[in-house]
Structure 1
Amino acid sequence: MDKVCPVVIRGDGRILAFRHPLAGLQFVKGTLEEEESTPEAATRELHEEAGVVLSAVHYLGESSTIVDDETWHFWLMQDSDLPETWDHACEDDGGHVFSFFWQDLTQPLPQEFAAPFQRAAEHLREVLT
């Protein structure tokens, strides 16, 4: 199964992340839909989960080591002047409010990020340095 992770990074190196009310801290990601390209999916997922419309501008590679039987595709999204924090009512999983913030990617992630997101951060650190 293919997953797509849109990556929004501030000039200071912080990455967009959010608090899921039931599943802890996460990065935006979702499932690639049939007949959809990975950059299209990255744009769609960012809009669905964060309420933000940005275009995918640079492919940051893929990893099959994040979750068994999944390939995660990472796309750097266009630069944007997003707020420091915001909440977005997402319709996924029956509807939740996601609380967005900027996470320092140069430091180890807090333990509230589940193992797949810890591995995703490792991939991103490798390709962004």
Structure 2
Amino acid sequence: MRTRLRHLRVGARTFVWRAAIDHVLGGGDCHRCIRVRVWGAGKTSQALQADLLSVAWPAPWGACATDGSYPAPADVQAIISYALEIGWQPEARGGTFVLSEHEHAARFSLPGFLLTDRLRTPEGGDPTARVIRAYEAQQRA
């Protein structure tokens, strides 16, 4: 299956991005996770990567297959803008600039999503506990 690449203009620059749907296991559930990758100067340029954990809840086991969360172009634009502010250089050659949960979750927020490291490493925070906290915070607001 071909990967669909989308185009997005941010200021005077055009970025190419894709989003791949996956899932991560938490202590009490399975959660939808979307890996967003962005390039600003071609496929050999430094890629930007953000793994987004859907905060759809309550989610019975297996809901990751039916959760319809997917980042909109405005979400990707917010990811790009934040990454540019903190030092992503899309014109650099090679490598990946990762927006990690560990380094960026406290400063970066996106409605409906949380940054997660669990897709890259099992040492990432428990997604079930984080989704419950995010859901409860939404209910209080």
TM-score by length of 1: 0.27
Larger Rg: 2
Higher relative contact order (CA 8 A, sep 6+): 1
Greater percentage in strand:
1
